Amino acid sequence: MQLMTTRCLIRPFERQDIESFMTYRNDLDWMKHQSFKGLTREEYESALLGKPSLHQGAQLAIIDQTTGELIGDVYIQQEETTYWIGYTIAPTRARQGYAFEVMSGLIHHLADQGAEAFKAGVLETNEASIALLKKLNFTYSMTEMDEQIYELPILK
C-alpha cells in the first residue's frame, strides 16, 4: 500500500528508515502512550521489513515528501470492512498537523476501497491522541482493558 497526502508519503518501511524509527520509538518518554517500543534494530527490522499485510496488521512509514525523511508511522489492521488504525509522529514533527493530514487521507483512501468503519485504541492519558480522534469525528465507544476504544462509522 502506498498513499500520498499533501506533504507526506505513506509506504512500506525500507531498511534506511530503521535508524530514524528507532530514534523516536526508543525514546521511552515520548512513547509512554505507545506499545511496540524499546526493541533492538534486529527486532524492528524483522517486524517492519517485508511485504506488509493489512489482515495481519501493517506498520507503514510516513515520509516527508520534501525531505524524504521518516517523520512517523501508521498501523493498519483490517477485520473484514473495519480497520483498526494507530499513528505515531516523531517528536521533531509533533503538533504540525501531520497526524491529522495522514489519518484523514488514510481514512478517505480506505473508505473509497470499501471500509465501513474505523477503530482506534488509546490510553486515557494520551490527551493529544484523543483530541486528534475527536477532530477526525471518532466517538468514544467503550473501554477494553486499559484502552479507550474510539469508532468512526463510514456513512455511505
95-138: pLDDT as tens digits? 999 999 999 999 999 999 999 999 999 999 999 999 999 999 99
Is the predicted pLDDT of residue 15 greater than 80, yes or no? yes
Residue 8 phi, psi (nearest 5): -125, 160
pTM: 0.93
Pick one of 1.10.287.110, 3.40.630.30, 3.40.50.1460, 3.40.50.300 as the CATH number of 3-153.
Answer: 3.40.630.30
Pick the range with the lowest mean pLDDT from 18-22, 27-31, 105-109.
27-31
127 to 33, 99, 103, 120: CA distances (angstroms): 10, 14, 17, 14
Instruction: Reply yes or no on whether the pLDDT at 69 is more than 90.
Output: yes
Query: Among positive and negative, which fits the CA dihedral 141, 60, 64, 6?
Result: negative
Up-side HSE of residue 94: CA atoms within 13 Å toward CB?
9
Torsion, CA 65, CA 71, CA 75, CA 76, rounded to 10: -10
pLDDT at 156: 66
User: Taking the mean position of all CA atoms in its chain, how far away is CA 45?
Assistant: 18
Read off the pLDDT band of 146 (50, 70, 90): confident
- Domain residue limits, the chain: 3-153
Report pLDDT for 28.
Answer: 75
Average pLDDT over residues 3-21: 96
C-alpha distances (whole Å) from 29 to each of 4, 71, 152 are 30, 17, 29
Residues 6 or more apart whose CB falls under 8 angstroms from that of 68 comprise none
Share of the chain above pLDDT 70, in %: 99
Averaged pLDDT score across all residues of the chain: 93
Cell digits of residue 64: 516527508
Residue 80 has pLDDT above 80, yes or no: yes
Q: What is the pLDDT of residue 99?
A: 96
Give yes or no for residue 58 having a pLDDT over 70. yes
Q: What's the full length of the chain, in residues? A: 156
Contact (Cβ atoms closer than 8 angstroms) between residue 62 and residue 24 = no
